[in-house]
Chains A and B, each alone.
Chain A
Amino acid sequence: MPESKTSTDTTNPMADPAARLALTDTIPNVPGVSKPDPILVVDNVVRQFGGMTAVNVDHLEVQRGLITALIGPNGAGKTTFFNLITGFDRPTSAKSRFGSSEGAASWAFDGRQLGRTSASAVSKAGMVRTFQLTKSLNRMTVLENMMLGARGQSGENLLTCWLKPTWLGQEKVIEDKAKELLSRFKLLRKKDDYAGSLSGGQRKLLEMARALMTDPTMIMLDEPMAGVNPALTQSLLGHIQALRDDGMTVLFVEHDMHMVRHISDWVIVMAEGRIIAEGRAHEVMADTAVIDAYLGAHHDTDLSDDSLLEDMPGAERMHRKAEAHEEEVARKGAAATKEKNQ
């Protein structure tokens, strides 16, 4: 399926696993590291609930065209972070109307500043998210749920919608697209059932399929495979990879380390609201800071249930890259001071 596509697709360089490896190889494993071609750049996003700081991200970049996993223990702030950058919540550090913008939250998607836009505007910009607690439209059929996802529907314009011929043609196209996605998500036979009658896992699938109806540039999945049976997970992971190979950027939250290791090109680790590590899956899982965050003091338990912890070369490479990055920063800093002095 998707693998066969990778070799034929020549338009997207990121479809080639070797190219992805080469790319991630150049990125140091430092939290908040800058990426060669970031699609999402986040600065100073802080969210406090009362006295508790749920999210505190100084700087984060998400590379275009890769599958990036956002992992972290329960309550790390992953969902809150998703809510913040998709416009469903506002950072405590948001730019006040009159105050200075220094240190204020700002984030840009695909070159567009999104700090003050609404959730629907964020989605229209091409960054579409799903919810950890699924939001299926219960008293509507599965097919209707799907068709709501399609963009640019002329029939959604109040002035012309009562004229059926103005939207009938488009409706057919959308329906075909919806059915195709539904069959891929094994929901086609449920298409005329109410979404409220679906099981928990099926709702997860429906929500993901519905998000894909929007043809997003970047899709943000909050625990997409929680409750989905393993065989279907396998095939959907293939689908996500195919999407990446077609040029979509994927950012997903997941607790299942198998899945993270299996499909992610890059992993960002969050704990207590902060980004504590970045890197490739096996490198990050060997990071002591990550293990600490996940397991507290129980260092003897391994993170990814097989012998990855012993994969020390990865860890070494990580330190090497970190050192290289520090050197780079120091060099840049020196250059900057030199410039100033001139």
Chain B
Amino acid sequence: MSTNTPESPTELVHQDDSLEADQTDIELERAARRKKAVIVTIAAVAIFALMWIVATTMSGTIPSIFASVIRSAVEPQTAAVAIAVLGLNLHFGFTGLLNIGQAGFMLLGAYGFAIATTRGMPLPVAVLIGLAAAAVFALLLGVPTLKLRGDYLAIVTISAAEIIRYTGRLSQLTDWTGGSQGLPGSEYRDPFVALSFFGSGSTTIGPLSYQNTGVNGWWIRAVAWSLVLICTLLVFLLVRSPWGRLLRGIREDEDAIRSLGKNVFAVKMQSLVIGGMLGALGGIVFVLPASVQADSMGRAMTFFIWTSLLLGGAATVFGPVLGTILFFSVRILIRGATGAVVPSDVLNTQQADQFSWVVVGVILMLLVIFRPQGVLGNKRELQFNA
């Protein structure tokens, strides 16, 4: 039972609390990180600008590949996925909730919105119904699982998302969901298109040439990317607050947070609901220029969302948006490059498309190995995986 008391305890009291030395270290490191972020941003903008100039001023294979890359980067569906990724970031990046069914939230939002509109609801009400559907879904999933270990939520979300997809395809529900045919955009798109103040005609900016309003023109692009901006701002405001700190605390260790007297279950539920509603909003934007197809928001979509999040960097503010844009434009770049380099009798257009997915998969693997924190993530955080 005896412990060795040191002979001269005073010798051990060398832990002086002078902050200066360490503070400069921290400042230096912060400055270095800021510098890196600036370099990454400038590089991204420069590459984009270069592609823009080449695509606008020249003609040929490479400029046309660049043009299609830029087009896919500003695609409204890219924006839609970015919004869903922002939601997943709140779940996984900040709260540590393993949601493997974000596409289910998207689909639910899309159905809620489209069905409400076809039943004559005005646009704002229809959007609210889409969001509310996702909120209720989140509550239903959260109540039984958020008290359990994290893995359970993963299993439940992936199966629930599949259940929604299969339910949407049921032929008995054709009157509501359109069954496996889905709902054509023309049935629910009009109130949104009617809101446009962009007028008719079309406008060309650089390599981008679209109708001002139209079905899939400048109007939906403007709205979609504004929503991305607003949602990013919302997430930023939330996660920098003490509430956001609570989320990260829960991600690190729920029990520690419980021991401090916080209602962990309620906070996790709030995160699940908000992230799910962002997913639903993404789903609504996703179907506006297209149609509601259950299969377009299935497991593959969840995979894209996850890839985009990891690519951009989980638990960062701009990572989700950057990651999504990168994910979709890099794939188009690979597809274009493959099509240009490999003769069509080796890989035809369809095979080139499939090949681009293979390359994306390989890139994802390399990313996880060499840059697990994503483009914008903080490497130091990863050293302390709980």
- Chain A residues with Cβ under 8 A from B260's Cβ? 120, 123, 128, 148-149, 210-211, 213-214
Residues of B within 8 A of A119 (CB): 255, 258-259
Taking a contact as CB atoms closer than 8 A, the residue among A131, A151, A189, A231 that contacts B256 in the complex is A131
Interface string of B1-43 (1 = CB under 8 A from A): 1110110011011010111001100100000000000000000
Q: B26 touching A148 by the CB < 8 A rule?
A: no
Tell me the smallest distance from the CB of A72 to a CB of chain B, in Å.
12
Smallest Cβ-Cβ distance to B6: which chain A residue: A230
- Closest Cβ of chain B to A269, distance in Å, is 13
The residue of chain B having its C-beta at the shortest distance from the C-beta of A87 within the complex is: B258
B243 neighbours in A (Cβ, 8 Å): 155-158, 161
State whether A137 touches B12 (Cβ < 8 A): no
Indicate if B246 sits at the interface (CB-CB under 8 A). yes
A340 an interface residue at 8 Å Cβ cutoff? no
Cβ distance A258 to chain B, nearest Cβ, rounded Å: 6
Residue of A nearest to B384 (CB): A196
B237-281 CB mask vs A (1 if < 8 Å, else 0) is 110111111101101110111111111100100100010000000
A residues within 8 A CB of B263? 120
Q: In the bound complex, how far is the Cα of B23 from the Cα of A121, in angstroms?
A: 38
Task: Give min CB distance, A259 to chain B, whole Å.
Answer: 9
- B383 at interface (Cβ–Cβ under 8 A)? yes
| Residue A5 CB within 8 A of the other chain | no
* Contact assessment for B253 and A123 in the assembled complex, using a CB-CB cutoff below 8 Å: no
Which chain B residues border A294 with CB–CB below 8 Å? 1
A311 to chain B, nearest CB (A): 15
Chain A 283-312 near chain B by CB (<8 Å), digits 1 or 0: 000000000001000000111110000000
A162→B234 contact, CB < 8 A: yes
Chain A residues near B19 (CB, 8 Å)? Answer: 188-189
Name which of A24-32, A139-147, A273-281 contacts chain B.
A139-147
Q: Which residues of A contact B381 (CB under 8 A)?
A: 139, 194
In whole Å, how far is B120's beta carbon from the nearest beta carbon of chain A?
Answer: 32
A68 at the interface (CB under 8 A from B): no
Whether B15 pairs with A186 at a CB distance below 8 angstroms is yes
Tell me the nearest residue of chain B to A139, going by C-beta: B381
Dominant secondary structure of chain B at its interface with chain A: helix
What is the total number of residues of chain A having a CB less than 8 Å from a CB of chain B? 66
Does A326 sit within 8 A of B, measured CB to CB? Answer: no
Interface size on B, residues (CB 8 A): 50
Q: Which residues of A contact B258 (CB under 8 A)?
A: 87-88, 118-120, 123
Given A167-B242, A194-B380, A230-B5, A128:B15 Cβ within 8 A: no
Structural contact, A164 and B384, CB atoms closer than 8 A: no
Query: Of residues 333 to 386 in B, which have CB atoms within 8 Å of A's CB atoms?
Result: 380-381, 383-386
A331: interface (CB < 8 Å): no
- Do A214 and B241 contact each other (CB < 8 Å), given the known contacts A137-B249, A139-B252? no
A108 at interface, CB cutoff 8 A: no
Residues in B neighbouring A124, C-beta threshold 8 A: 261
Contact B256 A120 (CB under 8 A): no
Report how far A147 CA is from B259 CA in the complex, Å: 14
Judged by a CB distance under 8 angstroms, whether A323 is at the interface is no
* Given the contacts A138-B386, A186-B15, A196-B383, A156 and B242 also touching, CB distance less than 8 Å: yes
Task: For residue B355, give the distance in angstroms from its CB to the closest CB of chain A.
Answer: 37
Contact B242 A131 (CB under 8 A): no
Tell whether, in the assembled complex, residue A161 and residue B244 are in contact, meaning their CB atoms are under 8 Å apart.
yes
On chain A, the residues within 8 Å of B5 by CB distance are: 230, 258
CB-based contact A305/B253 at 8 Å: no
A129 at the A/B interface (Cβ < 8 Å)? yes
Let me know if A241 is at the binding interface, CB within 8 A.
no
Question: A158–B94 Cα gap in the complex (Å)?
Answer: 14
Knowing A139-B384, A188-B17, A304-B1, the reply to whether A162 touches B238 (Cβ < 8 A) is yes
Q: Determine if A123 and B244 form an interchain contact, defined as CB atoms under 8 angstroms apart.
A: no
Could you tell me the distance between the alpha carbons of A44 and B17 in the complex, rounded to whole angstroms?
47
Contact of B242 (CB < 8 Å), options: A123, A171, A211 = A171
Contacts of A196 in B (CB 8 A): 383-384, 386
A190 to B26 alpha-carbon distance, docked (Å): 10
CB neighbours of B246 from chain A (8 A) = 148, 156
- Least Cβ–Cβ distance between B314 and chain A, in angstroms: 11
Closest to B246 in A: A156
A186 to B257, CA, bound (A): 23
What are 14 A-B interface contacts by the 8 Å CB criterion? A120-B263, A129-B259, A131-B255, A138-B252, A138-B384, A139-B381, A148-B245, A148-B257, A211-B259, A214-B261, A258-B5, A302-B1, A303-B1, A304-B2
Q: Can you add 14 more A-B contacts, CB < 8 Å, to A188-B17, A304-B1?
A: A88-B258, A118-B258, A120-B259, A131-B255, A137-B252, A155-B243, A162-B238, A188-B19, A196-B383, A210-B260, A211-B260, A213-B260, A231-B6, A305-B1
B-side interface residues toward A, CB under 8 Å?
1-3, 5-6, 9-10, 12-13, 15, 17-19, 22-23, 26, 234, 237-238, 240-246, 248-249, 251-253, 255-264, 267, 270, 274, 380-381, 383-386
The 7 tightest CB contacts between A and B, nearest first, are A196-B384, A155-B242, A305-B2, A123-B261, A137-B252, A161-B241, A135-B256
